[in-house]
Structure 1
Amino acid sequence: MLQRSQRVLETIPVGSLGLIPLKSCQQLGQQVNDYLVKWRHSSELEHKSNIAFTGYERDSYLIEAKTPRFGSGEAKGSLSDSVRGNDLYLMVDVCNYSLTYQLYGYTNHMSPDDHFQDLKRVIAAIGGKARRITVIMPFLYESRQHKRTARESLDCALALQELVAMGVENILTFEAHDPRVQNAIPLYGFETIPSTYQMVKGLLENVQDLQLDSEHMLVISPDEGGMSRAVYLANVLGLDMGMFYKRRDYTKLVKGRNPIISHEFLGEGIKGKDMIIVDDMISSGDSVLEVAGELKKRGAERIFVFSTFGLFTNGLNQFDEAYEKGIISRVLTTNLVYQTPELLKRPYYINCDMSKYIALLIDTLNHDVSISDLLDPYDRIQALVKKYEARQPILDD
């Protein structure tokens, strides 16, 4: 990671920094706040006493937002402090199903729809008084419904248009399922951010005997949709890549999808090599485990799964079984979405922390400085690999 001390941030901030993590994102928001407080207290910025930097150095940038609900399930948004003239960063995890509310006496788990409505309530509570609003939504709401097939809704595009109509200027998300959805709001800021650096770092920190060359390792895309991610990782690490494509039965619909008949492989030899399967999300996990099983049948050695979002919608039992059978060695996902305590205890699981990266993005944007160099982790990954091959410790730089 590029160090905060290496950033030259002497431009006047857009406004006094305010961080509003919704309840769904409180733990990650607290970690981001801790980095921001630490950096700005230790900063030797010569203009900190200038009136234009009022509120620059504080003990906390967190602003509490509440979204209480009535017994009928209706709700409202409220803020604990004034946000007039502030540069605000709202954080929301639309996949946090652990939160509940009472609905006519029943306990209801919050869905992505509930979280998105709460986000809009908080923006409404801001009431147009902020200098600028940026939404950090790691898992892009309704991003799996990003294109129309026959008579269908375009939920993600509509959601983006709703946000900018309410005054949001920038939207930051991670590994959008299809980045072309930004065409719905072409005149506003939209960034889809990779987690490649943190994934590679997590693997190198936890597995000591990797041979990072094309003779011993292969990058795998589980389907044609993930090709760009696999190509990028293969190029960065100097590896070859392969791809599976799904043969589907288009005469049937099962839970809204055409069932997969088989996975066909395209690529170089697999036998005796370690594999990195790269995907944007693990939903049920069926697809990635089927691909891992196919790789094992073809003679693959260890299999490492990289996925930005670990949703595990069908639980962890099938992953436990795959690990016990030696089909998978490690699973790496980020803390951008809710992680169950059970997942964090699994021996095969590696948690990749994204809080420092998010803090660096916020700190840079608050100064109205380009984040282009932060969005391409190529040089930072190369530095990691050199340290790893030289058997030097990989520090949290």
Structure 2
Amino acid sequence: MRFFALKGSEQLGATVARSLAIDLDPHEERDFEDGEHKARPLVSVRGKDIYVLHSLAGGGGVSANDKLCKLLFFLATCKENGAARATAVVPYLAYARKDRQTKARDPVTTRYVAQLFEAMGTDRIVTLDVHNLSAFQNAFRCESIHLDTRKHFAPPIGKLAGDLPVTIFSPDGGGVKRAQLLKEALEAETGKEVSFGFMEKRRSRNVVSGELFAGDVADNAVFIVDDMISSGGTMLRAALACRERGARAVHAIATHGLFGKGADVLFGSRAIDRIIVTDSIDAATAAKVLHPQAPLDILPIGRLISMAIRRLHTPGSISELIGIED
């Protein structure tokens, strides 16, 4: 097996490598003055089972497009040089939000990205809490592995809730299934009843609307769950709605902490008691450094990824790892 982590994902890659009890394999990345770049492995990949880790969130002066191209070209380079199998480990998958046409002549970018990976000869893609699971699984023709973080969030939810009754809350209709699965996982682990709620959100030309609110949150510890936090506007909107309806405590949970422009408003709001994300993207750690007073907790996700890689290489059961019933 060979395991590489491209520039911008080295921190998570090093954590995964430690959990696998191996070293990151060396590679070279060069950027040219005109914006082009090249990357190549510095060890032989011929006949090897190759895993390449790269989260595709833009930031730090590097766009999602650059990261995507580097990953695609590196995977193709490995196949060009005789790799037996190439697996893309993409904790955060770019362009997963645009998975259907909602306006005339809209792109379906999720499918286009899938076609790019397949054109490079990628044998398998592994991702973490993708925006729309059905769209992800239908877009890819190569083997697609989806890991979720429900089990990872259960302990901090129990700790933060204390003796308060718990409500798992989706900030929009699109995340209802994700919130329901977390609710069921909590009930199975704790043996206690967990309430559920959601609110309506429609976005058109970057204008958000929708007033429908469902669920009882009064005097409860509310955990608003989503796949990602970008500016934080969706989380903050839901948190304020829950506070208005008597929530005793409100916490925000998301796998991917992008924390782009506007996230400082989220960090400074008293409507949210704690924000919990994983280290799937380096931006989460950077936000913690830039905003040391922010109520931000970061859960390590490297062990889950390493366990998936080990089971794929051995091979072992992925269904058992992520809790899918036979």
* TM-score (norm: length of structure 1): 0.74
8 Å Cα contact 2:76/2:120 also seen in 1? yes
How far is the alpha carbon of 1:153 from its aligned partner?
2.2
How far is the alpha carbon of 1:96 from its aligned partner?
4.7
Asked whether 1:18 is paired with 2:2, we answer yes
CA distance in 2, matches of 1:111, 1:247: 27
8 Å Cα contact 2:279/2:299 also seen in 1? yes
Of 20, 25, 41, the match for 1:36: 20
Q: Which residue of 2 aligns with 1:67?
A: 29
Asked whether 1:120 is paired with 2:120, we answer no
CA distance in 1, matches of 2:309, 2:209: 45
Give the fraction of aligned pairs with identical amino acids, expressed as a percent: 28
Q: Which residue of 1 aligns with 2:190?
A: none
How far is the alpha carbon of 1:159 from its aligned partner?
1.6
Q: Which residue of 1 aligns with 2:82?
A: 129
CA distance in 1, matches of 2:277, 2:310: 24
Equivalent residue runs for 1:1-397 within 5 Å:
17-37=1-21, 60-98=22-60, 109-126=61-78, 127-149=80-102, 150-179=104-133, 180-186=135-141, 188-204=142-158, 207=160, 210-211=162-163, 216-238=165-187, 239-246=194-201, 253=205, 257=206, 259-267=207-215, 269-322=216-269, 325=270, 327-338=271-282, 339-343=284-288, 345-376=292-323
How far is the alpha carbon of 1:152 from its aligned partner?
2.3
Structure number with the bigger relative contact order (C-alpha 8 A, sep ≥ 6) is 1
8 Å Cα contact 1:65/1:122 also seen in 2? no
* TM-score (norm: length of structure 2): 0.90
8 Å Cα contact 1:202/1:351 also seen in 2? no
CA distance in 2, matches of 1:144, 1:211: 36
Q: Which residue of 2 aligns with 1:101?
A: none
SS of 1:288 mapped into structure 2: helix
Kindly provide the amino acid, as one letter, of the partner of residue 281 in structure 2. Answer: V
CA distance in 1, matches of 2:306, 2:129: 18
Superposed CA RMSD in Å reads: 1.9
How far is the alpha carbon of 1:304 from its aligned partner?
1.2
Q: Give a deviation string over 1:108-160, Cα, whole Å, max 9, x none.
A: x1111000111122123211511111111111121111112321222221221
Range with greater deviation from structure 2 (171-180 or 61-70): 61-70
Larger Cα-atom Rg? 1
How far is the alpha carbon of 1:94 from its aligned partner?
1.2
Range with greater deviation from structure 2 (306-315 or 273-282): 306-315
SS of 1:151 mapped into structure 2: coil
CA distance in 1, matches of 2:128, 2:30: 28
Flag the 1:154–1:128 CA change in 2: closer, same or farther, 3 A: farther
Flag the 1:372–1:276 CA change in 2: closer, same or farther, 3 A: same
SS of 1:263 mapped into structure 2: coil
Q: Give a deviation string over 1:187-223, Cα, whole Å, max 9, x none.
A: x211221111112233445x3x6137xxx12111111
CA distance in 2, matches of 1:247, 1:159: 25
Flag the 1:194–1:281 CA change in 2: closer, same or farther, 3 A: same
SS of 1:176 mapped into structure 2: coil
8 Å Cα contact 2:171/2:198 also seen in 1? yes
CA distance in 1, matches of 2:136, 2:266: 32
Kindly provide the amino acid, as one letter, of the partner of residue 23 in structure 1. Answer: K
Q: Give a deviation string over 1:231-255, Cα, whole Å, max 9, x none.
A: 111122231201101255x5xx2xx
CA distance in 2, matches of 1:321, 1:359: 35
CA distance in 2, matches of 1:361, 1:128: 25
How far is the alpha carbon of 1:347 from its aligned partner?
4.8
8 Å Cα contact 2:73/2:120 also seen in 1? no
CA distance in 1, matches of 2:156, 2:230: 21
Q: Give a deviation string over 1:338-357, Cα, whole Å, max 9, x none.
A: 22434253451111100111
CA distance in 2, matches of 1:270, 1:280: 21
8 Å Cα contact 2:45/2:81 also seen in 1? no
8 Å Cα contact 1:202/1:352 also seen in 2? no
